[in-house]
Amino acid sequence: MLLALAVVVTAVIVGVAAYYIFGQAPKPQANLLEIYHWWTSGGEKAAIDALVAVFQKKYPDVGVIQSPVAGGAGYVFKSVMKSMVAAGEAPDAFQVHAGYEMKPYVDAGFLEPIDDLWRQEGWESVFPPVVRDMVSWGGHYYAVPVNIHRANVLWYNKKILDQYGIDPSTLETWDGFFAACEKLRAAGIQYPIAMGGIGKWEIAHVIEQIFVSQGVDFYQDLVNGKLNDPNDPRLVNAFNIMKKYMNYVNPDYASLTWDQAVAKVIRGEAAFTIMGDWANGEFYVAGKQFGVDYGAMPSPGTKGIYVLVVDCFEKPKGAKHPENSIKWLRVVGSREGQDAFNPIKGSISARLDADVTKYGPYQRAAIQDFKTAKYMVPSIVHGSGAPEKFASAFNDIASKFAADRDVAAACKAIIDAINAAKSDYTKTWHLTG
């Protein structure tokens, strides 16, 4: 007892002395990593947990705090993160899309260049040039890509297609696709296409893929802010296709999330949904088998084109645990980290040396398609292709159009949105080769 008392008394004396010497009681510095992202659907959560598990195996002494902000494509997250960073409350790393979405952070000096890390990890030789370009600004690297998603994917319920004798190869054109929708409707499936719309971007996502189907030269003009004619036949045609598309969409789209739309296809309530290949993660967690229960193909008119969506993490200036931020980035960019995350996420590794045996059949096909793609184009809806000002106007235009289906008004609104963002177009994309 005397010994215990002596220990307590000594501890009190040391504590009091420290209080007077340092002005406050010494606080143990917690060894934490705090990351923010918007991966909250079933597939997304499983994927980020797998990546965090790789980190924890490597750095067992670091406690990881994940702070997810629900809302697909970061439609809630993005403004939350902007305010946090601007208020000097940046976490140790946060999810961001490669390309224009990073720009406001880079311009305001909120991110640290991480060229040394890129050099140490030898990333220049493993990440493809198209991705490297999207994460470098003014000759410096500011982020580490964790994946490459494909946006232009048509997902289908294979059992429904088999039952009604629809050959997926007939879905390569919009005419063929709408003929299939008509056939299914005649057979009693009133709304064969599932779509979400709660965050507006789910609708813009579909229109973006329709834009891509109007030709890469058209899409290039769009992302370079070079369209100026509201009567441009490619623009008008695109909205006419979307008008037709809306005929077959579930009427409650505006209250559904993207994954609720995918769930309709999983359950066989709808035959189709156009969504990025994060949808594969939902089929995966639902225990569905690619090629048996469901299938996927490039959305109509986009064969040979890969619409890129690239998620990244970075090192914010003033991060509270800068060393852990760097440790996280090392894992994010590593072969092991990417090969744990992406097989669940639905994306392919951003690295060219992925272990293909770890990936399921959808992604093996995607890896092949990526290697042989004729064109790679950046998604606007998912932050890369066009300035944020245009991207956010595009979401509003899309959701208004889904409701009023006014083609002329939508075409005019697109041109107006380009003009309003004119000075923000600082990148010139060369997509046509």
Query: What is the DSSP annotation of 113-157?
Result: --HHHHHHHTGGGTS-HHHHHHTEETTEE--EE--BEES-EEEEE
CA distance 430 to 433: 7
Q: Are 310 and 345 in contact (CB under 8 A)?
A: no
Min dist CB 404 to ligand BGC, Å, is 26
Question: How many CB atoms are located within 10 Å of the residue 103 CB?
Answer: 17
**CB of 69: closest distance to ligand BGC in angstroms?**
11
Considering the complex, what minimum distance in angstroms separates the CB of residue 392 from ligand BGC? 14
247: tokens are 């005929």
Question: In the bound complex, what is the minimum distance in angstroms from residue 375's beta carbon to ligand BGC?
Answer: 20
CB atoms within 10 A of CB 268: 13
CB of 44 to ligand BGC, least distance (A): 5
Q: Is 197 in the site for ligand BGC (CB under 6 A)?
A: no
Per-residue binder mask for ligand BGC (CB under 6 A), 41-60, x = binder: ---x----------------
Question: What is the full DSSP assignment across 148-210?
Answer: BEES-EEEEEHHHHHHTT--GGGGGSHHHHHHHHHHHHHTT-S--B----TTSHHHHHHHHHH
Residues contacting ligand BGC: total by CB under 6 A: 11
Closest approach, Cβ 329 to ligand BGC, in A, equals: 17
Does residue 351 belong to the site contacting ligand BGC (CB under 6 A)? no
Q: Is 278 in the site for ligand BGC (CB under 6 A)?
A: yes
Q: Is 150 in the site for ligand BGC (CB under 6 A)?
A: no
Quick check: 149 binds ligand BGC (CB under 6 A)? yes
**Does 382 engage in binding with ligand BGC (CB under 6 A)?**
yes
Stretch that binds ligand BGC, among 22-30, 69-77, 99-107, 161-169 (CB under 6 A): 69-77
Binding map of ligand BGC across residues 75-114, x = CB under 6 A, - = no contact: ----------------------------------------
Instruction: Pick one of 33, 48, 54, 73: the residue that binds ligand BGC (CB under 6 A).
Output: 73
* Count of H-run helices and E-run strands, the chain: 18, 14
3-state secondary structure of 230: coil
309 scored as a contact of ligand BGC (CB under 6 A): yes
One of 92, 101, 277, 311 touching ligand BGC (CB under 6 A)? 311
> Distance between CA 5 and CA 13 in Å, rounded?
12
Calpha distance 218→381 (Å, rounded) = 16
Amino acid at 112: E
User: Is residue 394 involved in binding ligand BGC (CB under 6 A)?
Assistant: no
Nearest to 39 by CA among 77, 65, 70, 78: 70
Q: Does 205 bind ligand BGC (CB under 6 A)?
A: no
- The pair of structure tokens assigned to 86 is 């601007």
Is residue 425 close enough to count as binding ligand BGC by CB under 6 A? no
β-bridge pairing 375-378 and 305-309: parallel
Quick check: 200 binds ligand BGC (CB under 6 A)? no
Distance (Å, whole) CA 386 – CA 377:
11
Using CB under 6 A as the criterion, which residues of the chain lie in contact with ligand BGC when the complex forms? Answer: 38, 44, 72-74, 149, 258, 278, 309, 311, 382
